[in-house]
Amino acid sequence: MATQRKKRLSRTEKNDALLEQAAAVALPSVADVVVVGGGASGLTAAITAAETLQDTGSPGTVIVFEQALTCGRTILATGGGRCNFANTDLRPEYYRHPNFVRSVTDGTYLKDILSFFRECGLAWVTEEEGRLYPVTRQAASVRSVLLARTRKAKVICACARRIIDIQKDSEKLSIIWEDLFGAQKHHTLVARTVILAGGGASASTFARKLGLATVPERPGLCALTCLPEIPVQLDGKRAHARALLTRDGHLEASETGEILFRRFGVSGIMVFNMSRSALPGDTFTLDLLSEVDHDSLQAAITAQTIDGVLDPDLAEFAAPQSSVPAKIAAAQALTLTVTGVAPSVPAQVTLGGLSVKDFDRHLEACSCPGLFACGETLDIDAPCGGFNLAWAWKSGMVAGASAARRLL
Ligand SMILES: Cc1cc2nc3c(=O)[nH]c(=O)nc-3n(C[C@H](O)[C@H](O)[C@H](O)COP(=O)(O)OP(=O)(O)OC[C@H]3O[C@@H](n4cnc5c(N)ncnc54)[C@H](O)[C@@H]3O)c2cc1C
């Protein structure tokens, strides 16, 4: 019997099918826990809240609102599609507001993340600098196991629904949301607890009405534009460098690693990490010869060529048409002025967000009992290496457990 080939769906057909699925999810008018955002932190929070309630014998209604057609989409893009989901060294010092991170993570940071993923059925490997990846090296595996556990925990995933307002009156929180499929645009639902997990740039939407302070948001872990312009022959070239970032003569950050030159400016993990501190007008001073010892530099001068210690195009950029000693001196202190964030490379995190001063170590808003926040919505960020997702998972767990405890 001839096997029938399954028809490949076009993107529009896939989206239509997802919209139909989303529209078929019926929502109650009252929920025990409403999670704003079905990303890394929101899914973890919802799972933890639902499981905590089930463990105590009083299962509740936990709903994740996600404006996209499916939950966990950001996870797919992480770690270049491989998802560097945590790090073996999760010291709070790596984070903005380390004392707050220490109080929330409570000495069980990595252990809790690994137990959580073990229970999800995920296996992992440790690569260079303690970076943890799923053993499949596929971000889709992380998302898949999370979605499976979400279903098992009977969390309602309300996709294609954007929360546009949260109103607080006396004991209750009213959630106003709009859908991407129906005729009736605005709907209301009463929530006994709410967890804000909408990621970067979502905080300011609700903060003012809820009386929460925010720290201005801006892109972080991103490529930077700079002056002088990078010549075309350097586009795509990499170099190992020691870099200092200074503002008005004061050191703001320093880092050693690989820098990637692009037509628009500079990129690479080292630049991403320094972008957390960089502002337009700051100066990058690069030592492109930090790995080359004194004797090797002398040998290059004697040989009258720099080609053995540095890419000739980089040397020419540092000191055009100069002698070898002049090129060496310039390459040891190449200065670039930061002009902004490169729009062509997506930033990996949003700096700023809800001020941590308004939240306790259970991630509950001090001025609004029943309101919690987790993940990138809060003013917490860290360098590349699995630290940001680690915070998303762990803060999600803490917020989810705290919301469930409040209900109990
Ligand atoms: C390209 C890229 C690569 C990255 N790689 C890594 C990595 O390898 N390791 C690492 O540790 N970190 C990495 N990060 C950072 C990491 O992805 C984030 O720190 C993490 O996803 C934050 O989780 P979150 O749940 O706080 O926010 P998000 O993952 O952004 O999730 C928020 C969700 O909320 C939804 N939402 C927002 N507002 C609303 C609303 N009003 N109503 C309904 N839904 C809403 C959004 O659609 C989104 O799905 C990377 C980021 C990017 C962009």
Task: Provide DSSP, 160-188.
Answer: SEEEEEEEEETTEEEEEEEESS-S--EEE
Q: What is the 335 CA–ligand 1 centroid distance (Å)?
A: 33
Pair (120, 93) in one structural domain: yes
pLDDT, residue 58, reads 84
Q: Is the pLDDT of residue 4 over 70?
A: no
Does ligand 1 come within 6 angstroms of the Cβ of 68?
Answer: yes
Q: Is the pLDDT of residue 5 over 80?
A: no
Q: Name the nearest CA neighbour of 195 among 379, 352, 406, 382.
A: 406
Q: Name the nearest CA neighbour of 261 among 282, 283, 286.
A: 286
Give the residue, 93 or 6, on which the prediction is more confident: 93
Q: Is the pLDDT of residue 170 over 80?
A: no
Q: Is residue 7 part of a domain?
A: no
Pair (330, 312) in one structural domain: yes
Does ligand 1 come within 6 angstroms of the Cβ of 81?
Answer: no
Listed residues 295, 325, 341: the one ending a domain: 341
Among the listed ranges 51-55, 244-248, 341-345, which one has the minimum average pLDDT value? 341-345
At 112-142, the pLDDT tens digits run 999 999 999 999 999 999 999 999 999 999 9
Give the residue, 302 or 169, on which the prediction is more confident: 302
Strands 62-66 vs 30-36: parallel, antiparallel or unpaired: parallel
- What residues contact 23, with CB distance under 8 A and at least 6 apart? 160, 179, 181, 182
Token reading at 281: 């007008």
Q: What is the 306 CA–ligand 1 centroid distance (Å)?
A: 44
Cα–Cα distance for residue pair 208/190, rounded to 1 Å: 20
Q: How confident is the model at residue 183 (pLDDT cuts 50, 70, 90)?
A: low
Q: Name the nearest CA neighbour of 392 among 87, 120, 3.
A: 87
Query: Strand pairing partners for 225?
Result: 265, 340
pLDDT, residue 1, reads 45
Does ligand 1 come within 6 angstroms of the Cβ of 267?
Answer: no
Q: Is the pLDDT of residue 169 over 90?
A: no
Ligand 1, atom 5, lies closest to the CA of 78
Pair (50, 193) in one structural domain: yes
Q: Is residue 2 part of a domain?
A: no
At 372-408, the pLDDT tens digits run 999 999 999 999 999 999 999 999 999 999 999 999 8
At 137-154, the pLDDT tens digits run 999 999 999 999 999 999
Q: Is residue 55 part of a domain?
A: yes
Q: Is residue 5 part of a domain?
A: no
- What residues contact 10, with CB distance under 8 A and at least 6 apart? none
Query: Strand pairing partners for 256?
Result: 242
Q: Would you say 276 and 383 are in contact if contact means Cβ atoms under 8 Å apart?
A: yes
CA of 84, closest atom in ligand 1 = 8
Give the residue, 32 or 182, on which the prediction is more confident: 32
Listed residues 325, 341, 357: the one ending a domain: 341
0.85 cut: is pTM over it? yes
Does ligand 1 come within 6 angstroms of the Cβ of 34?
Answer: no
Q: Would you say 101 and 374 are in contact if contact means Cβ atoms under 8 Å apart?
A: no
Query: Strand pairing partners for 350?
Result: 219
What average pLDDT does the chain have?
Answer: 94
Q: Is residue 48 part of a domain?
A: yes
Pair (335, 370) in one structural domain: no
- What residues contact 273, with CB distance under 8 A and at least 6 apart? 221, 253, 255, 257, 383, 384
The CATH number of the domain where 175 resides is what?
Answer: 3.50.50.60
Q: Name the nearest CA neighbour of 180 among 34, 12, 10, 16.
A: 16
Cα–Cα distance for residue pair 375/258, rounded to 1 Å: 28
pLDDT, residue 100, reads 98
Q: What is the 218 CA–ligand 1 centroid distance (Å)?
A: 15
At 318-361, the pLDDT tens digits run 999 999 999 999 999 999 999 999 998 899 999 999 999 999 99
Query: CA-based Rg of the chain, rounded to a whole angstrom?
Result: 25
Does ligand 1 come within 6 angstroms of the Cβ of 194?
Answer: no
Q: Is the pLDDT of residue 3 over 70?
A: no
Pair (178, 198) in one structural domain: yes
Pair (185, 109) in one structural domain: yes
The parent domain of residue 336 ranges over 224-341
Pair (184, 128) in one structural domain: yes
**Residue that has been written with the tokens 């790995």 in this structure:** 291
The dihedral over CA atoms of 103, 107, 109, 114, expressed in degrees to the nearest 10, equals -150
Pair (103, 188) in one structural domain: yes
pLDDT, residue 180, reads 87
Pair (214, 230) in one structural domain: no
Query: According to the per-residue pLDDT averaged within each range, which of 169-173, 209-213, 335-339, 367-371 is highest?
Result: 335-339
Listed residues 341, 361, 390: the one ending a domain: 341
Token reading at 115: 């137990």
Q: Would you say 252 and 277 are in contact if contact means Cβ atoms under 8 Å apart?
A: yes
Pair (148, 204) in one structural domain: yes
Strands 172-179 vs 283-287: parallel, antiparallel or unpaired: unpaired
Pair (103, 209) in one structural domain: yes
> For 76-99, what is the mean pLDDT?
97
Q: Would you say 329 and 300 are in contact if contact means Cβ atoms under 8 Å apart?
A: no
pLDDT, residue 6, reads 65
Q: Is residue 8 part of a domain?
A: no
Pair (101, 78) in one structural domain: yes
Cα–Cα distance for residue pair 184/259, rounded to 1 Å: 51
pLDDT, residue 144, reads 98
Q: Is the pLDDT of residue 56 over 80?
A: yes
Q: Is residue 188 part of a domain?
A: yes
Give the residue, 107 or 336, on which the prediction is more confident: 336
Q: What is the 155 CA–ligand 1 centroid distance (Å)?
A: 19
Which bin fits 106, alpha (ψ -120 to 50), beta or left (φ > 0)? left
Does ligand 1 come within 6 angstroms of the Cβ of 66?
Answer: yes
> For 81-100, what is the mean pLDDT?
97
**Residue that has been written with the tokens 């989810």 in this structure:** 400
C-alpha angle 165-199-146 in degrees, rounded to nearest 5: 110
Q: Is the pLDDT of residue 274 over 90?
A: yes
Does ligand 1 come within 6 angstroms of the Cβ of 281?
Answer: no
Count of structural domains within the chain: 2
pLDDT, residue 182, reads 77
Residue 229's CB is within 10 A of a number of other CB atoms, namely: 12
Q: How confident is the model at residue 364 (pLDDT cuts 50, 70, 90)?
A: very high
Q: Is residue 135 part of a domain?
A: yes
